[in-house]
Amino acid sequence: MAKIGMLLPLRDALKRLPLVGKPLLGAGRFAYVGGRSLAMSLAGLARLPGAAWRFRREWTSPANRGIGLAAPGHTVVMLVVADMRSDPRVEREARALAAAGQEIVVIWTDPLLARTGVPTPVDWGQGISFQSLPEQAGEFSQQFPGFLGTAMLDAALAHQPFAFHGHDLNTCLVALTAARRTGAHAICDFHEWYSENVTWRPVGRVYTRHSWPVKQGWRWLESMCFAHASALVTVCRSIADEMSATFSDGRRQVHVIRNIPDRARQPSRDYPPLKAQFGLGDERFVLLWQGGIGPSRMIEPIIKALAHAPACTLIIRGPEIATYGPGYAAIAAQIGASDRLLLSSAVPSRDVVAAARGADAGTWTLPNLCKNFSYALPNKIFEYLASGLPVLVAKYPEAKRLVEEHEVGLTFDPYDPRSIGAAINRLVDDPALKARLAANTDKALEAMDAAAEWQKLVAVYASLRSTPPALNNDTPIQR
């Protein structure tokens, strides 16, 4: 009963917050989000009613100007719960807008600030500055419902920008609320499809589909974005089309900006070919996994595929290799492939393209747990292509379409090590096929107009300047 007593004011506050849509919570419903302890979850839950009422008060304040109705200047405030030392999408968008004349302020949760008392230095070039918040300011994203960031809202309301740009759905309520209060535009940038994503379950240490309350919470916020945001952005066409159909009957456009790297950007240092980096001979076939690792990535079947592809050496290079590497090594030992699995720490995000050159192929997969995974079109695939590598990818819609349309790789059943091994062996046994797929990588990036990908965001901002305020999606609240 104590849970119900705490949730009722939260439910009522969030029900009234947007003045549209359905209640976020049903009485008595509770879901644990994130990898935190139960005690921390309950502590976060106890804070939720106050945070919900704070957002409701800001949203309904008579001082509101309305989203996009008073948007002066050229400043864009980006809101991010992530480490800016390793977030290539935010960096590419900030650089593109800054090059077009916008002044960018990135408000982010700095993991080192609380420990050192000094903001972590990040340099993305002229026109881009950073405002660090303690890492604790981002804890709201790990506490149900995941988007009531009061400290970030305080930081945002100190600015009077042209636009607030919410990176990922967890910052979008902050962006919308600050924009409504100040009159700035609000851009909601869906790096992931949150309501169609997964939840980490500490009991069992697995990812599963969201519980009903969690999914409804994210869907409520997604509907808010479609109802009020000045512009909507995401990473691939499948997510854009289905979100538009779900939340606006196809009436609202979601702009697609894919995670294509800037091939002209110089790495922090020179890298020899990958095989030389690891002391391997040129005759070895080397498959590279470069990027995030851990329970949500489903790398285990790729390791098991080494039993069916005896000529292949797999290199896994990513963050937290000290945490997850021993488990990967144990799998390789079980199948007698310890000498063909190499584990390495991540390289800086600006270096991933240069550091991958010289492998024979790059690989990507995810478990088929949700639409966010099966529709994924991640950085990793484009980074492999920019490195000149053919790709071996899970047979999901977006990745399969890209690989087959541009003839740059092969697909496999992500749950079947034999299928993965067969894809590897095709490239091992047919050097001409491997060479042809590799040669197509440059053509593919040219055909996708990779150089202009990030200019799409510049065009979105330009369209906001040319759109009369009366045509925007928000109006001041009538009291």
For 180-206, the pLDDT digits (tens) are 999 999 999 999 999 999 888 877 778
pLDDT tens digits, 139-160: 999 888 899 999 999 999 999 9
Tell me which residue of 175, 177, 176, 213 sits closest to 195, measured CA to CA: 213
pLDDT tens digits, 395-437: 999 999 999 999 999 999 999 999 999 999 999 999 999 999 9
Class of the domain covering 274-451: alpha beta
Residue 479's pLDDT is: 25
Q: Does residue 56 register a pLDDT over 70?
A: yes
Provide the 3-class DSSP secondary structure of residue 19: coil
User: Predicted confidence band at 473 (pLDDT cuts at 50, 70, 90)?
Assistant: low
Q: Does residue 4 register a pLDDT over 80?
A: no
Residues 359 and 427: their CA atoms lie apart, in Å, by 12
The two three-digit tokens of residue 479, written as one number:
């009291």
Bridge partner residues of 185 (DSSP) = 163
> What 3 state SS string does 32-101 have?
CCCCCCHHHHHHHHHHHHHHHHHHHHHHHCCCCCCCCCCCCCCEEEEEECCCCCCCHHHHHHHHHHHHCC
- Element containing residue 187 per DSSP (H, E): strand 185-190
Tell me which residue of 333, 276, 285 sits closest to 310, measured CA to CA: 285
In the block, tokens 């480490």 appear at: 83
More confidently predicted of 475 and 197: 197
Residue 367's pLDDT is: 93
- Element containing residue 109 per DSSP (H, E): strand 103-110
Domain limits, CATH 3.40.50.2000, in the chain: 2-257+457-471, 274-451
Q: Tell the CATH superfamily of the 2-257+457-471 domain.
A: Glycogen Phosphorylase B; (3.40.50.2000)
pLDDT tens digits, 6-40: 334 444 444 444 433 333 332 222 333 344 444 54
Residue 199's pLDDT is: 87
Expressed in angstroms, the distance from the first to the final Cα of the chain is 36
pTM above 0.75, yes or no: yes
